[in-house]
Amino acid sequence: MAIFEGAGVAIVTPFHEDGSVNYEKFAEHIEFQIANGTDAIIVCGTTGESSTLTHEEHLEVIEYCIKQVNHRIPVIAGTGSNCTETAIYLSKEAEAAGADGLLLVTPYYNKATQNGLYLHFKAVAESVNLPIILYNIPGRTGGVNIQPETIVRLCHDVKNIVGVKEATGDISQVAKLMSLAKGSVDLYSGNDDQTVPILSLGGKGVISVFSNIAPRQMHDICAKYLEGNVTESRDMLLEALPLMKALFLEVNPIPVKKAMNLLGMQAGGLRMPLTDMEEENARKLEQAMREYGLFQ
């Protein structure tokens, strides 16, 4: 049984002007997601700016999210690190807080070998009992790519490593993975614009940035595909494609926080070294939002 099927939101972490976590707005955003059909919440991932949260903040945000959701939908905690011991610590704490699953990003900066990746993920997984989704995103990890053979080996050898969030952008690699997996890997798209292609290869859903501002639409894209209405799902994705692209005019989560603020959702600013969106790109983003119909 997959941790979830459909659209999981890679949820932002709202900040006050002084840079502290804005839990009031975080609660509002969680409720907005649940009310609009989001199938799971992925907390303290890339979009949640986990890389600039202290360990204490990281765990506080996870715990708050779990309590606010209160078992209504699964909460998957981002607990990856380029330090195996740190990833084990964060994972154990997230399990104790009541998370339903974990998302473990490929170790960054160290540039581990495939054997190193295998041993890293195995060590973290064996420290907890929660189901684990690997997060393969070479663009953020110094080009380190978890090869399909390594993913399949981990899912075969380690009982609680159940799947992967694929954000390589390489559909051929994903196809190879699913060919080798023979049903043993739960696949999630890590790129909104590739949701339908990945579903067509046997994917379970998406871990989505777009869902922060359009949760119902992203849920419906997945739900319609999984119900067998492939044409409508595809057409909905194609309609959303310009806005999905605009959300990556600058590095995530700069544009999605800007979009939320334009919608009055008060996501706040970003922690350095991330900075506010350039004015020209912000205009392009706002135009894409208008064309998609997000402003009433």
How far is the C-alpha of 92 from the C-alpha of 141, rounded, in Å?
23
Q: Is 135 a catalytic residue?
A: yes
Note whether 222 and 233 are within 8 A (CB): yes
How far is the C-alpha of 283 from the C-alpha of 228, rounded, in Å?
37
Which residue of the set 25, 108, 118, 135 is catalytic? 135
Q: How many residues does the chain have?
A: 296
Q: Is 176 a catalytic residue?
A: no
How far the first Cα of the chain sits from its last, in Å, is 39
Token readout for 152 is 């399949």
Which residue of the set 165, 224, 257, 258 is catalytic? 165
Residues catalogued as catalytic: 135, 165
